[in-house]
Structure 1
């Protein structure tokens, strides 16, 4: 029983020890399991933290600082965006990244927030190591220890640089647009014109002060969003548009017309605003559908236009109508003639001696004469007749009602007599001389322009017939004028083709009968027929060809003299006629001297011949200056056809002249008409008294030659001496020249 108990007793102790061990083992195992779970949890948390870190490193910029703000840790994105390495950043404060963009107060607020344990969020602009700025959206939170005290700070930042740049660009765009809109508004308000814009629905969206001033009667009713139609109705109701009328029907029609023009846009039209003002309206629609209208106040322009229109039809000196007014009245007279069959007429008048009066008495005297004639014409004209001044010395009268051609001619003759009455100017009695061209309003002229042309042609013929006369237009005159134009066209071609020739007529000395020189005379074969020199020269002067023709004659004459000299002959001098237009050329003297130099001839070889009409055409002293310059270079000057014009002793004193040429009209009848003999003797005596020489033209008989020789004339020129010679015959003439035996026999040279 004891063994069993011992055993039992022993077994009980073992059992008891085993239970304790079992309890310990169980407790250990429990701890082990708990530790394993804790380790597992830590590993899981670590894994999660690593995942968070990885995620943050992918998208966030992370930095940790201590309480003083010294950086203790940064992630790779922090280094990448800042450009600094981790070693360069750790141990530094964020001052290394300060961009200077933010004020100091900005960071004071941040530090105050996080130092008090709060979380701060804001956007910060930093500067990278390379100097480039970048923006980060930053969240900064304190890191606390177990004791609750702040140990440092964790900053998580997101790169928002691109967003900030986009925002800045958008802000700049908005600012630029705002400035542009403000500028546009300022510009629109600065424009004095009225400006208004309507949207695609025809609603008013913009206008300026000028628009309100344009329509003062409806200015206070204009509002944003009102339609164009509403605006028109309001304007009509308030009397802003008087052209709309007073009746409802007329007003509606006017508004409808305005709406159609407004809808079509692109029109420019005038509008009366009802207060004696005119507005020009221009409307156009933009690609976006907006319609913009500009209204310009043109009241001053309209008033000026009215005044100009009145002035444009009035001659300022005489107060008569001008060419434009005459054309209107003539057109009306022609319409009336076609309607009632009455005879009418147009008279063109030209004051023949105005230039002479201007040159001798001055332009004030000429103006006085013009106004006097204007008064006489106005007094002479009957009711319904129109008097006009159409040029410097030209007048016209439209007579719409005449019985027939005979009455028209009688009207013109009486008019000539009225105008020719003397006028007192500067204490002197001046007799105006007028020529008149008359054209009937007939079927020959269908337009006013044709009647003008006919009257002008008739006037031209009146002046050509000796001036101071009346000439009725005849269709043959038109044909003659057309022929002259055809001659002018052919002459221009002939000059280009060098088809102009000259003939040389010799001159001899009365003293010893020797040859002294030639006069160059122009020649031209047109279609195989010779053109009379006077006609050729007249056509050249009328059509601006005289200058070119003159230089051609100079060149041919001097070339011929050069050839004769080179052949061992003594041709003497050569005289060339010149026109007023040639002498007015600025380079005339230079070109003439250049031609002498070209042919190697001295100036004394050349003699310039001018007519009395040329001297009378030189009131501006230009011709006198040119002649003096030629004479100063040794070129002689002769006055041709002396005694046939109006030259006076004053002209002989004023112009440098070496020789007077007695016109052939005096020489021709000196043996039969005592007056011609006296005039010829007087001219020769006058020339010698003034230190000049005298040349007689047209000497054809021994009696003429002997008379001139007895009067002491210096040189003879005419068929008794020799006919004008073609250039090819001149050398033979000089080689065979002797003192003419025909002066004893009275046998003149053969006519060409």
Structure 2
């Protein structure tokens, strides 16, 4: 749409007519306000015009109204065209109807926060509520309990009566357990037959015991389904905050550990996490000094997990995954040492070592006639360093034989939450160097559509937690489908991680996702094993059908 200096419409194209329903004859000579939806305040439009007059350009989302009265979301960019004297000659507006994208966003936001089967909060919303509850504890000088619950005997119900009856049992028990809690508490289903309760406003552990007893009873009381009397029970692990001074993720892990103790001790009971024992059992592995020393001793190694196109059988690249070849403990996985150095200077050194090692490996494979891109995981702390793009350029300069396109940097979707503008600018600077980006663990953040619009990532990785359970969990399958839809809407490639079986691959292909990685394809392996694996690997016939 083009207007003159008085904002009178002088020209529209066919796309404008298709989006709004107005013909050019119906809008020429009129003002764009005929499209206003009534959803925006006058302040919104005042700010738009102020920005436009001072910067000669405005871009953003807004709601407009079609000729038939329907309100729709649009991405709008308005630019000023000035004459030789610097006076406004025209305003040029570019519209994009983002109704489909908004629909995907709404679908994702709903299914990413609630369990479709039980309508309870899921793990994402649970994490948010737990963080808020922890902050409230600090302000009120109170405690909270995190109770991790796993149903005893639930697998036998599925085996004996089928998954439909199993689902009905989960719905019935979730309602009972929710009623066993107080109004201020939270109950979430985090997958399968696992539930987590956050019990707040506590002074001592004893204050939580009546609630825990009610949860045990709610799980253990028989349920009649389809004429069958079904009975299970629950094993519950509990940890207290701030007595257990961990972060939210660690509180969940500690409660999970205590749950396994409850199962070992006979099931149908609760067990309190022993913080004293935990502190006493911590090893020197958690020392930052030990990790720094390991870097100096070259004890870190990279293993590589292939990424493939399931339909064509082509190996499209590998992901580099760090391991610690510990002289005493053997091969130590990253989750046992990377969280210790998060936000520390040593994490930047290790991050650069990984990139340098990956570039060296690309060069070595090229000499063997294997042109294989490598993706490297980048922490949020690392990419938000002011000199990140400069450091990438320096590392690339030490490997001039390597095409920068062969290096892909994976960042967690949540890494960009704090300063998305800064992260976007850094990514664009790296993109100018020829380096590609992937958004890792997509679907676990809170602003997925914003990230897709503003972050120049060519590849979207569906988080393995959704892929792993998608065959049994309708929520996870819906999230996977929503992420694939969003990626297609934004013309991004999409890859699923956590593909563990042939059936996972078939389901993903049916949803339109061809790229994948996971144990069902190959486990991470040393670099020396990759060429032989590529030579021998053939995609499953059911994928290539």
TM-score, with normalisation over the residues of structure 1? 0.38
**Contact 1:438–1:459 (CA<8 Å) still a contact in 2?**
no
Distance (whole Å) between structure 1 residues aligned to residue 345 and residue 277 of structure 2:
24
Residues 504 and 519 in structure 1, CA contact (< 8 A), matched pair in contact too: yes
Aligned partner of 1:623 in structure 2 is 423
What CA distance in whole angstroms lies between the structure 2 residues aligned with 1:436 and 1:727?
A: 52
Quick check: which has more Rg, 1 or 2?
Answer: 1
Q: Is the 8 A contact 1:664 1:698 kept in 2?
A: yes
Partner residue of 1:478 out of 272, 275, 279: 279
User: What are the equivalent positions in structure 2 for 1:257-656 lying under 5 Å apart?
Assistant: 395=139, 397=141, 458-460=244-246, 462-466=248-252, 474-479=275-280, 482-483=282-283, 486-526=286-326, 527-541=328-342, 543-571=344-372, 573-600=373-400, 601-616=402-417, 618-619=418-419, 621-656=421-456
Residues 308, 515 of structure 2: 8 Å contact kept: yes
> CA distance change for structure 1 residues 564 and 462 in 2, over 3 Å: closer, same or farther?
closer
Q: Give the conservation status (yes or no) of the 8 Å contact 1:501–1:522.
A: yes
Report how far residue 588 of structure 1 moved: 1.4
Give, in angstroms, the shift of residue 590 of structure 1. Answer: 1.4
Partner of 1:707: 507
Distance 1:592 1:435 in 2: 46
**What SS is found at the alignment partner of 1:723?**
coil
Q: Is the 8 A contact 2:185 2:200 kept in 1?
A: no
Contact 1:435 1:463 in 2 (8 A): no
Q: As a proportion of its length, which structure holds more helix?
A: 1
Instruction: State the partner residue of 2:541.
Output: 744
Could you give the per-residue CA deviations for residues 457-516 of structure 1, whole angstroms, max 9, x where no partner exists? 71315542349x9x9772023235x43664433211111112110001111123421111
Q: Is the CA contact (8 Å cut-off) linking 1:352 and 1:435 kept in structure 2?
A: no
More strand by share: 2
Structure 1 gap segments, 5+ residues each: 1-350, 358-368, 378-393, 400-415, 421-432, 441-453, 747-752
Note the 1:655-734 alignment, pairs <5 A.
655-734=455-534
Change (3 A) 1:534 1:486: closer
Q: Distance in 1 between matches of 2:200 and 2:296?
A: 36
Quick one: structure 1 residues 461 and 730, their matched pair in 2 at CA, closer, same or farther if it must change by over 3 Å? Answer: same
Change beyond 3 A, Cα 1:395–1:543? farther
Q: In 2 relative to 1, CA 724–459 (structure 1 residues): closer, same or farther, beyond 3 Å?
A: same
Q: Shift of residue 648 of structure 1?
A: 2.9
CA offsets per residue over residues 400-442 of structure 1, 9 Å max, x none?
xxxxxxxxxxxxxxxx97699xxxxxxxxxxxx99999899xx
Decide whether aligned partners of structure 1 residues 685 and 461 sit closer, same or farther in structure 2, where only a CA change above 3 A counts.
Answer: closer
Q: Secondary structure at the match of 1:465?
A: helix
Deviation per CA, 1:262-319: give whole Å up to 9, x if none. xxxxxxxxxxxxxxxxxxxxxxxxxxxxxxxxxxxxxxxxxxxxxxxxxxxxxxxxxx
SS of 1:672 mapped into structure 2: coil
* Residues 409 and 436 in structure 2, CA contact (< 8 A), matched pair in contact too: yes
Contact 1:584 1:622 in 2 (8 A): yes
Q: Deviations over 1:516-569 (max 9, x none)?
A: 111000111222422222222211216543211111111111111100001222
Q: Distance in 2 between matches of 1:648 and 1:397?
A: 35
> What is the rounded CA distance, in whole Å, between the counterparts of 1:352 and 1:511 in structure 2?
36
C-alpha change, 1:733 and 1:457, in structure 2 (3 Å) is farther
* In 2: Cα distance, 1:680 partner to 1:565 partner: 35
1:68-83 aligned within 5 A: none
Instruction: List per-residue Cα deviations over 1:67-92 (Å, max 9, x = no partner).
Output: xxxxxxxxxxxxxxxxxxxxxxxxxx
CA distance in 1, matches of 2:504, 2:481: 12
Indicate the SS of the match to 1:507. Answer: strand
Q: Is the 8 A contact 1:437 1:455 kept in 2?
A: no
Query: What's the secondary structure of 2:322's corresponding residue?
Result: strand
8 Å Cα contact 1:575-1:609 kept in structure 2: yes
CA RMSD in angstroms comes to 4.0
For residues 102-121 of structure 1, what are the alpha-carbon distances to aligned partners after superposition, in whole Å with 9 as ceiling and x for unaligned?
A: xxxxxxxxxxxxxxxxxxxx
**Displacement after TM superposition at 1:580 (Å):** 0.9
Q: What are structure 2's unaligned runs of at least 5 residues?
A: 1-125, 144-181, 187-197, 206-239, 256-271
**Which whole-Å CA distance do the structure 2 matches of 1:459 and 1:418 have between them?**
22
Residue 605 of structure 1 and its aligned partner are, at CA, apart by 0.9
* 8 Å CA contact 1:439, 1:458 repeated in 2: no
Larger relative contact order, structure 1 or 2 (CA cutoff 8 Å, min sep 6): 2
SS of residue paired to 2:306: strand
* Residues 623 and 484 of structure 1, relative CA distance in 2, 3 Å threshold: farther
Partner of 2:439, secondary structure, is strand
Distance 1:557 1:435 in 2: 47
Residue 551 and residue 438 in structure 1: after superposition, are their counterparts in 2 closer, same or farther (change >3 A)?
Answer: farther
How far is the alpha carbon of 1:620 from its aligned partner?
A: 6.6
Cα distance change on mapping 1:585 and 1:649 into 2, 3 Å: same
